[in-house]
Amino acid sequence: MAAPWDQTFETELRRQLPGLSADAELTPQAPLAAYGLDSLATIALIARLEDAYGVRLPDEAIAPEHFRTAATAWTLISRLTAATATGTATVTERGR
Amino acid sequence: MTADPLLLDHWFGKGLTANPDGPALRIGAASWTYRELDRIASAWAAALVEGGRPARVGVLASKSFEAFAGFLAVLYAGAAAVPLGPETPPARNLAVAEAAGIGALICDPAGAPQLPGLLPLLRGAGRVIAPRVDERYRPDNAVPVAEQAAASAPGPAPPPAVVPDAQRSPDDLAYLLFTSGSTGTPKGVPISHRNVCAFLSAITPRYELSPTDVFSQVCEPTFDVSVFETWTCWAAGACLRVLTRLQALDPVRFANNHGVTVWTATPSLVAALQARDLAPPGTLPGIRYTVLAGEPLSVATARYWRRAAPASVVDNLYGPTELTVTCTGYRWPAGEPARWPDSATVPIGEPNTGLDVLLWGGDGRPAEDRGELCVCGPQMFGGYLDPADDHGRFLEHGGRTWYRTGDQVRRDPRDGLVHLGRLDGQVKVRGYRVELAEVERALMRLTGSPASVLLVDRPSGPVLVAFVMAHRPLDLEGARAGLAARLPAYMLPAQLWQVADFPLTASGKVDQRWLVGEAGRLLNSG
């Protein structure tokens, strides 16, 4: 079965998973922390995904629960890209 | 000029007077003004004292609204706050709550699963304030307090003090924190209003603050750097912006988005940013002050931060919980002190106003330029909750009592005090104190075998690892689970290895150098 995400996502996610060997499959439900996604890697991943997809994550999306598995992270990214494509406002909290 | 307050909550009163309708606290998209926070805390305090004023109140909360309003409410009630971590294992929270003798509890949703287990400990009226806690966990007799928004309506006059000042004393306890103890049980550190007010009187003149400032708030309430973040902010009428640990690792986004002007962090957090270059030069232009505390700060890390936040003053503050948050400070000079190599440690500088320091030499006499740092003055606590823990921690000299920090320092004529290391097995993990002996004892109890725990440096920061010595097969997974059920997360070894033997040094001690080398080898091969 093909992965539910695109190649960009797969590449960027794998880049932050030192514990996942290149020939091993990245499954939707596997806990990313087990492959070495710590909080710093999460921040780096967010920055790269934002660049790759041209989206900006709202503050509340920058939370560990969105990066627990490949599936949760992809759900977040695809929701944001869809919202950007249809012009739906993705509310980004702005400082004063 | 009016004298500084002698009760901790009166420092909040300064902010309330200076900026009543400005934001005191922001968490996520929610925000509370000084007036709102004052009203809610007053209402909660009134609920706490109904049926008898409790001496100590547990605040089982992460960095939530309940944690901040709760702490303030406990002080308004003339009681002492006992922060309890929702992520701390229940057995440890129970031991802490029992030792502290809590008479009431304030709880947030994160703490809810642990609430039922703590209820049997409550003494007296046993009030519980848990407005957002699910019914499953909330006891039937929980106080029906007004929820956040309901109490926020503007009114004419501030409510009268819940407990009149005349019934309170600066010698009353303000809070009780627990630190890792080498005997295997956490040590209770009671801090009085006098202690913490002396700290604030000494620390606030270091910073020129106004209600337009925004403080980051990153440390958990169980870690006393949070006392600095919260109360220096409120004393100025400034805004306390709570950040999760993940958000704190992205200051370029969050400090800039939220207009943070005062950034507080542990050196290990900045070192982590440095390891991945997450704060490139000039990316944090709005930060005016950076306060680093909780661990030794390397020159390389301080330089990295200075480049990221070029407009910021950088302070390195030092102090054990027993001396109330921080007791010495060093301000990074404006010009780059090129004479320091990157590998050096930033000095801890001069003692706070009002404190005296003494270097105690190995020969049992005061030393001129090198020795154990001993401190005396109004920030010094009055002794551990369990007097048995006082043994060996105090020094009588020159007719005064001094607290022995256990830190070896030298006095530099130009830079003040310089931290050299610990005299015992205490290490710092993400700013938290960890007694290696406490982890070793827990491991030995679980496995029935000798254990050695050590801190090893990794590119992403120091990590705890442990060796257990046994010839027979050991249930390491079971031991790992057992540790997690007993110790807070920062005390858990990242790796647990079994070895057949500990090589010994010529003097018959476990060869620490061999262990460090072996740990490095195993980590690299993993």
In a domain, B306, yes or no: no
pLDDT tier, A96 (very low <50, low <70, confident <90, very high otherwise): very low
In a domain, B493, yes or no: yes
Nearest 10 degrees: CA dihedral of B244, B249, B252, B257? 0
- Chain center to CA of B68: 15
In a domain, B301, yes or no: no
Same domain, B117 and B206: yes
Closest partner residue to B276 among A40, A64, A93, by Cβ? A40
Residue B151 has a pLDDT of 45
In a domain, B326, yes or no: no
The pairing of strands B350-351 and B328-331 is: antiparallel
The Cα–Cα gap between B86 and B64 comes to 11
Closest partner residue to B272 among A40, A60, A96, by Cβ? A40
Same domain, B406 and B458: no
In a domain, B327, yes or no: no
A93 touches chain B (CB under 8 A): yes
Residue B119 has a pLDDT of 94
- Chain-chain contact of A39 with B259 (C-beta, under 8 angstroms): no
A38 touches chain B (CB under 8 A): yes
For B349, which DSSP code? Answer: B
Are B196 and B8 contacting, i.e. CB atoms less than 8 angstroms apart?
A: yes
Same domain, B194 and B53: yes
What's the average model confidence in pLDDT over A67-92?
Answer: 82
> Which residues in B104-250 belong to E strands, given as ranges?
104-107, 127-129, 173-179, 187-192, 214-217, 239-242
Same domain, B65 and B150: yes
Residue A70 has a pLDDT of 95
Looking up residue B367, the CATH number of its domain turns out to be 2.30.38.10
Looking up residue B476, the CATH number of its domain turns out to be 3.30.300.30
B526 touches chain A (CB under 8 A): no
Same domain, B364 and B458: no
Q: Which domain holds residue B477?
A: 426-525
Looking up residue B112, the CATH number of its domain turns out to be 3.40.50.12780
Whether residue A13 has pLDDT greater than 50: yes
CB contacts, 8 Å: B249 with chain A: 39-40, 43
Residue ending a domain, choose from B397, B422, B447: B422
Query: Which are the contacts of B440, defined by CB distance < 8 A and separation ≥ 6?
Result: B451, B452, B453, B466
For B246, the closest chain A residue by CA position comes to: A39
Q: What is the ipTM of this complex?
A: 0.77
Q: How many domains does chain B have?
A: 3
Are B406 and B375 contacting, i.e. CB atoms less than 8 angstroms apart?
A: no
Same domain, B417 and B443: no
Same domain, B397 and B456: no
Burial class of B31 by CB neighbour count within 10 A (0 to 12, 13 to 18, 19+): middle
B246 touches chain A (CB under 8 A): yes
Closest partner residue to B29 among A42, A64, A93, by Cβ? A93
Residue A87 has a pLDDT of 65
Same domain, B407 and B484: no
For B245, the closest chain A residue by CA position comes to: A39
What DSSP string describes B247-282? HHT-HHHHHHHTT--EEEE-HHHHHHHHHTT-S-TT
Are B325 and B381 contacting, i.e. CB atoms less than 8 angstroms apart?
A: no
In a domain, B163, yes or no: yes
Those residues of chain B that have pLDDT short of 70 are: 1, 146-160, 336-338, 506-509, 526
In a domain, B359, yes or no: yes
In a domain, B312, yes or no: no
Same domain, B372 and B474: no
Residue ending a domain, choose from B362, B391, B422: B422
For A94, the closest chain B residue by CA position comes to: B257
Are A28 and A9 contacting, i.e. CB atoms less than 8 angstroms apart?
A: no
CB contacts, 8 Å: B253 with chain A: 62
Same domain, B493 and B385: no
Same domain, B411 and B430: no
The Cα–Cα gap between A40 and B251 comes to 12
Q: Which amino acid belongs to residue B120?
A: P
- Least Cα distance to B95 among B174, B184, B175 occurs for B184
For A18, the closest chain B residue by CA position comes to: B526
Residue ending a domain, choose from B422, B453, B481: B422
Same domain, B110 and B94: yes
